[in-house]
Amino acid sequence: MNARVHGIVVWCCTGLFLLPIVWMFGTAFKSPNEILNAGASLLPTTLSFDSWLAVWQGSLFTLISNTVLVSLSATVVSVVVAFFAAYGLVRYRFPAKLDYLFLLLVLIIKMMPPIVVAIPLYSLMNQLSLLNSKAGLILAYQVYTLPFCIWMLLGFIRDIPLEIEEAGAMDGAHLFRRLLHIVFPLCAPGLVATSIFAMILGWNEFLFSLLFIHSPDKLTIPLFISNFMTEDGTAWGELMVIGIISSIPMLVLASYMQRYLLRGFSMGLK
Amino acid sequence: MLFENRKQLSTLLLPAIVVLGLLTAYPIISVVYNAFLSVDIGSGQHHFVGMANFAELFDDFFFVTAIQNTLLFTVVASTAQVLLGLVLALLFHRNFPGRRFALPVIIYPMMISTLVCSSIWRSWYHYDFGFLNAAFVSVGLPPQEWLFNPDFALYAIAIVDTWQWTPMAFLIILAGLQSVPKDISDAAMVDGATGWKSTLYITLPLIQKQILLAFLLRSIDTFKLFDKVYVMTGGGPGNATETLSMFVYKYGFRFFDLGMASASSLVMLAISLAMTLIYAKRVMKGGKQ
């Protein structure tokens, strides 16, 4: 294939592949009437902001703040807990290869279908009176985010040369001072990358919010989209506006995080 | 040199062990326990029934269908994603004008959430107003039922999953291609291997590992299929798109059959465990340093 043909082929594939996203943006700016008569057109004939207005007047801000609050808190908890655990796993000698066993168990948890633990988790939340609460959701999200963060941070901590820390240890730096002054700064880019991926996990999570959240004022964006889809048959304009609002942060991150994407989506495993 | 201090080590690991123990170890143990119980909803009494739940499960038409659907979906979707990801990776491996801009853009589908993804495609599949039927009609093809066709609904969902996750297989395979030393492909070229022949006999064997990893990771993930089915078909038409996750959900949260839900969870856990172990064997070989 000569270079020119190759370029054209790749761009055509890319364009075709992105049609659904183009349609999402187009539909958000179509009038409700045009949506039902649009046929195979991707872009609106006349720009309409009806759908944006409708979403703006809805519960948009509650939704966004709920989703941000829950995913951000879940991320903070996970990253802190995982940072200590990952550091211990990388830098300390374990008896009887227990570190491998621990990592294997964490991997198994990350890979298992979350529905497997949903029922006992539901009764646990019930006993702790955490059903239908954001705190409960933050806790439940640890099932996804904590194993992810442990594995992801493992790779970043491994990349820090041991010699730097050994020097610190010889100077008598205590564990927490060593962590704070040596490991933390060196690992900062890794912590940021890991946090962003954990945020994405929380931002997009559906199953546990479906099971644990009932009141409308506590809905997360994915849960709202699900309710919206089943209740308002073809109000696609509003649906796509919400879709865009929920996707924009991710699409911006996609460009920013490119270097870490592979690591993130395969959990730091190469 | 690794640190030896046991006390420090336990301090470091304790928070993670507590959180994971409470939120995953305890639930898994209780699933295993409940799988061998029969619970009467009315009185709340439960008694040990041994393997009876499993016997009932494998006699249950809905469960057998759910297993078949899930495995079919896993194989079809993962294979499609790896093949398409491979083709895209081969296309992107060579430079072309604007590659720098196309690369971040082509992974957009996996950056938008599953729910957004499902909402787009559910609209596309709409019989009367959907984009796909409009496109079909405009080129003279008959409109299709898509999600309402029991023979096609599962594949329709597989298409959505493939659209969303091909970028991930693509990224893994592209990274593999980029790690192939350039002199190998140069040497092949000198020996007269060009075009698809060089790809088939030289490049592909070299990225075998990445292809396999992509396939395993995607299989583990597609096996969980829940969100898309829940919002696009609810398991229907009939039970054409019933999956194991949906089965556990229905038995646990709609029929409140704790024993059956736990037994089917355990079957899922076993299958997922088998796939994870194959994967772990390949990625956990490296030592500490």
pLDDT per residue, tens digit, chain A (270 aa), is 677 888 898 999 999 999 999 999 999 998 888 887 767 788 888 888 888 988 888 888 999 999 999 999 999 999 999 999 999 998 888 887 888 899 999 999 999 999 999 999 999 999 999 999 999 999 999 999 999 999 999 988 988 888 877 777 766 667 888 888 888 888 888 899 899 889 988 998 999 999 999 998 899 999 999 998 887 677 888 899 999 999 998 888 777 777 777 777 766 444
Q: How far is CA B259 from CA A119, B50, B55, B243, in A?
A: 11, 11, 12, 18
Q: Is B46 helix (H, G, I), strand (E, B) or coil?
A: strand
| pLDDT (average), residues B5-22 | 89
CB contact under 8 A, B3 and A100: no
- Domain final position from A48, A67, A83: A48
Burial status of residue A60 (CB atoms within 10 A of its CB: 0-12, 13-18, 19 or more): middle
Regarding whether A73 and A17 lie in a shared domain, the answer is no
Does the structure show a pLDDT above 70 at B273? yes
Regarding whether A33 and A101 lie in a shared domain, the answer is no
- Chain B residue with CA closest to A203: the answer is B113
Chain A contact probe: residue of B4, B23, B174, B219 with most A CBs at under 10 A? B23
Under 8 Å between Cβ of B129 and A36: yes
In a domain, B16, yes or no: no
In a domain, B7, yes or no: no
In a domain, B72, yes or no: yes
ipTM value: 0.88
Q: How far apart are CA B31 and CA B42, in angstroms?
A: 21
In a domain, A249, yes or no: yes
In a domain, A270, yes or no: no
In a domain, B252, yes or no: no
- Residue A55: predicted pLDDT: 85
Q: Which two tokens stand for residue A241?
A: 């506006």
Under 8 Å between Cβ of B211 and B82: yes
Which residues constitute the domain of residue B39?
A: 25-59+257-289
Provide the residue count of chain A.
270
Structural domains counted in chain A: 2
Between residues B119 and A3, which one has the greater pLDDT? B119
* Look-up of token digits 């927490």: A176
Identify which of B171, B180, B169 has the alpha carbon closest to the alpha carbon of residue B205: B180
Burial status of residue A171 (CB atoms within 10 A of its CB: 0-12, 13-18, 19 or more): exposed
Regarding whether A153 and A33 lie in a shared domain, the answer is no
Strand B46-48 versus strand B37-39 pairing type:
antiparallel
Q: What is the pLDDT of residues B206-264, one digit of tens each?
A: 888 889 999 999 999 999 999 999 999 988 888 899 999 999 999 999 988 888 899 99
Regarding whether A177 and A108 lie in a shared domain, the answer is yes
Regarding whether A209 and A98 lie in a shared domain, the answer is yes
Q: How far apart are CA B20 and CA A109, in angstroms?
A: 9
Q: Which residues pair with B47 in a beta bridge?
A: B38
CB contact under 8 A, A270 and B283: yes
Phi, psi of B37 (to 5 degrees): -115, 155
Chain B contact probe: residue of A10, A109, A115 with most B CBs at under 10 A? A115
| pLDDT (average), residues B131-138 | 89
Q: Is A61 helix (H, G, I), strand (E, B) or coil?
A: helix
- Residue A241: predicted pLDDT: 93
Regarding whether A160 and A111 lie in a shared domain, the answer is yes
Regarding whether A160 and A100 lie in a shared domain, the answer is yes
Q: How far apart are CA A15 and CA A208, in angstroms?
A: 35
Q: Chain B: give the shortest CA distance to residue A80, in Å.
A: 9
Regarding whether B178 and B72 lie in a shared domain, the answer is yes
- Residue B201: predicted pLDDT: 78
Burial status of residue A46 (CB atoms within 10 A of its CB: 0-12, 13-18, 19 or more): exposed
Q: Is B37 helix (H, G, I), strand (E, B) or coil?
A: strand
Does the structure show a pLDDT above 60 at B288? no
- Residue A245: predicted pLDDT: 93
Q: Chain A: give the shortest CA distance to residue B115, in Å.
A: 6
Regarding whether A16 and A130 lie in a shared domain, the answer is no
| CATH code of residue A126 | 1.10.3720.10
Q: Is B48 helix (H, G, I), strand (E, B) or coil?
A: strand
CB contact under 8 A, A104 and B284: yes
Structural domains counted in chain B: 2
Regarding whether B161 and B90 lie in a shared domain, the answer is yes
In a domain, A205, yes or no: yes
In a domain, A206, yes or no: yes
Regarding whether B214 and B126 lie in a shared domain, the answer is yes
Q: Chain A: give the shortest CA distance to residue B171, in Å.
A: 6
In a domain, B233, yes or no: yes
CB contact under 8 A, A36 and B110: no
Q: How far apart are CA B24 and CA B27, in angstroms?
A: 5
In a domain, B4, yes or no: no
DSSP calls for B218-234: HHHHHTT--HHHHHHTT
Task: Provide the b/e sequence for A182-200 (b: ≥16 CB within 10 Å).
Answer: bbeebbeebbebbbbbbbb
Q: How far apart are CA B244 and CA B270, in angstroms?
A: 12
In a domain, B235, yes or no: yes
Regarding whether A15 and A77 lie in a shared domain, the answer is no
Helix H segments across B94-149?
99-106, 108-111, 114-124, 131-138
Mean pLDDT of all residues belonging to chain B:
88
Helix H segments across chain B?
6-20, 26-34, 52-59, 61-93, 99-106, 108-111, 114-124, 131-138, 153-178, 182-190, 195-198, 204-206, 208-222, 227-232, 244-253, 258-283
Percentage of chain B exceeding pLDDT 70: 93
Does the structure show a pLDDT above 90 at B178? no
Regarding whether B35 and B133 lie in a shared domain, the answer is no
Regarding whether B195 and B85 lie in a shared domain, the answer is yes
Regarding whether A138 and A17 lie in a shared domain, the answer is no
* Look-up of token digits 């709609």: B254
- Chain A residue with CA closest to B171: the answer is A262
- Residue A37: predicted pLDDT: 78
Q: What is the pLDDT of residues B50-95, one digit of tens each?
A: 888 898 889 889 999 999 999 999 999 999 999 999 999 999 988 8
Long-range contact set of residues A172-179: C-beta below 8 Å, sequence gap at least 24: A175/B5, A175/B8, A175/B11, A175/B12, A179/A84, A179/A87
Sequence-distant (≥ 6) Cβ neighbours of residue A221 within 8 angstroms: A63, A64, A66, A67, A203, A242, A245, A246, B113, B115
* Look-up of token digits 């336990």: B10
Q: Which two tokens stand for residue B256?
A: 């409140």
Regarding whether A30 and A105 lie in a shared domain, the answer is no
Q: Which residues of B touch A204 (CB under 8 A)?
A: 113-115
Which residues constitute the domain of residue A17?
A: 3-48
In a domain, B147, yes or no: yes
- Chain A residue with CA closest to B115: the answer is A222
Regarding whether B51 and B74 lie in a shared domain, the answer is no
Does the structure show a pLDDT above 70 at B192? no
Regarding whether B237 and B96 lie in a shared domain, the answer is yes
Regarding whether B110 and B207 lie in a shared domain, the answer is yes
Regarding whether B173 and B103 lie in a shared domain, the answer is yes
- Residue B42: predicted pLDDT: 67
Regarding whether A127 and A18 lie in a shared domain, the answer is no
In a domain, A231, yes or no: yes
Provide the residue count of chain B.
289
What Rg do the C-alpha atoms of chain B give, in angstroms?
24
Q: How far apart are CA A35 and CA A33, in angstroms?
A: 5
Regarding whether B287 and B220 lie in a shared domain, the answer is no
In a domain, A82, yes or no: yes
Q: Which of A3, A80, A115 sits opposite B249 (nearest CB)?
A: A115
Q: Which two tokens stand for residue A143?
A: 């099932």
